Structure 1
């Protein structure tokens, strides 16, 4: 007979309440708790934190104590009163002043991803994304209207800049890319990955190719790299002529699309690629038996509820790339969230 001490029951309880943990992190980021503590000369009492973010003191105390249990904050007692400060994790990843802050990605997940996941069961029943049901975006307009506002588009671009500040070096150094002087980052947004590429391979030139509205938003509202070796070009990579390049980077692009659309895009890249050139695919790779890693499995479900795509195994990507004409397939798992695949023309 099971009991509350049964480890299976405890594990089930942890799983069932996992969404509450996410919301604690999301709420603390949205309120600016970690920013107030980062700016303070030392630990702060509950009332000071609450005043700093414009919140209720008694409610803030509950949030701060939950953050302590989650190791997002630390607490010390002085004369019977609790004083709170950031932990190393929150200093590095949750304070907006940190160069590796992940706040924008967390806020995007809170305001967009989280709502789509509320319809996961329906997505599994129907086998399709839930954007229309969740946000009223028609399926045929999914990738032109996926951002419900200019502000959301800006936030997602900033989120990608944060993401590549942590994972960019590992995927760009998985293979020696110095052999490719002319690089095109397809769907490269505000140029965050292009900027890292130029830092690692200063002899290259990177063209960031993205939709006109994305390029416009990036230049008007996001800090784009001001480098003579980085340029921006507007276009739709399914319809318009692609810039000529020695290497095409597709970072978090193919997982958005079903196999048919991936093949269409990869064939266009192959025909545009210079002889001897290559393609660098950056995605989170499933194990060949598709039973891990867990985070990649969750990302694949996220592709179900938000897009038309999925996460894939190395052999699945090999098949897609080979059918488009690419050869010399290599892949490397980085040990971080995103992995790298290189193939040649």
Structure 2
């Protein structure tokens, strides 16, 4: 018999599309709304084929996603429900869609990357977000995935950031505003500006209208490679820097330092590797998708601290988080003696820059 870890890794290629299919056909929302049911009852209610559904449910039972009684009734475990219930803010259905459609379609590229290297395959001036923003539907699907990944953990990260003394948050590459919304809820006196590509503005406006935020949430269009950031006392990068190599991260952090008001802070929010780089699993998996979908990688807290200090930030800290998303804080001080001497960017910074300016999956 195969070791269980190897077995689950082998059959994961089947599990992800089945998770997505069950979500798309409302299997999870049916179980969340109606409670336990047999494959026949669920199939009748959803107008799907009973035999195919039962086989899918048996697979999801084997993966411990759902439960099955000896009488053949399926149900959602309590710890699973928030993540597969579309009515819960922790719902991950949008991200499942991204994995099943965008990420899966790019997996064959890994063979070419492995044999020839990413740069040789992609060319000198890749545009990693052109496909994700290829049309309105693709853009909405991508931003929905980002919301599903970001909003729930953003509540904890906003609390960890300590926003009581902040007045103006600038969310660089903030998309439709998941972190900005969490921050505004955490601090009633805060204002927030999302700085992103012009095509993102309608989606941010939807968030502003839905949550009745008025002029507390605004949008500033721009390209974060070429345009100056709006000024604020809190500059945030929510799952942005993991999209880019070190020299581009350093460039962006130096621009953040310039835009950050004296005694302000920069917030870097991302998945982190353990110091040993042996996990967590989600970080290791997403680190591989960075190879497929972006130019970046995931880092340890110490690696982000080094980048922040090279950009001029001091007193960097990583408050403990209970989720798989983490916060690294850097402070801007006017005391030059406290800042580490800045190093020049790597020679790689002379390469042509990518043309997309939005951050990606973390």
Distance 2:6 2:209 in 1: 44
Q: After the TM superposition, which residues 173-322 of structure 1 pair with which residues of structure 2 at under 5 Å, given as runs? A: 173-219=159-205, 225-228=211-214, 229-322=216-309
1:109 matched to 2:96? The reply is no
1:339–1:23 Cα change, 3 Å: same
Q: Which residue number in structure 1 is paired with residue 155 of structure 2?
A: 169
Distance 1:86 1:32 in 2: 13
Distance 2:165 2:206 in 1: 33
Distance 2:320 2:116 in 1: 32
1:174–1:83 Cα change, 3 Å: same
Deviation larger for 89-98 or 302-311: 89-98
Q: Which residue number in structure 1 is paired with residue 351 of structure 2?
A: none
Q: Any stretches of 5+ residues in structure 2 without a counterpart?
A: 333-362
Q: After the TM superposition, which residues 37-48 of structure 1 pair with which residues of structure 2 at under 5 Å, given as runs? A: 37-40=31-34, 42-48=35-41
Q: Which residue number in structure 1 is paired with residue 82 of structure 2?
A: 92
1:334–1:85 Cα change, 3 Å: same
Deviation of 1:283 after TM superposition, in Å, equals 1.0
Q: Which residue number in structure 2 is paired with residue 66 of structure 1?
A: 59
TM-score (norm 2): 0.82
1:183–1:221 Cα change, 3 Å: closer
Distance 2:51 2:246 in 1: 52
Distance 1:131 1:312 in 2: 24
Distance 1:173 1:126 in 2: 44
8 A Cα contact 2:15 2:60, kept in partner: no
8 A Cα contact 2:161 2:267, kept in partner: no
**1:17 match: secondary structure:** helix
Deviation larger for 285-294 or 104-113: 285-294
Q: Which residue number in structure 1 is paired with residue 128 of structure 2?
A: 142
8 A Cα contact 2:132 2:142, kept in partner: no
Cα RMSD (Å): 2.6
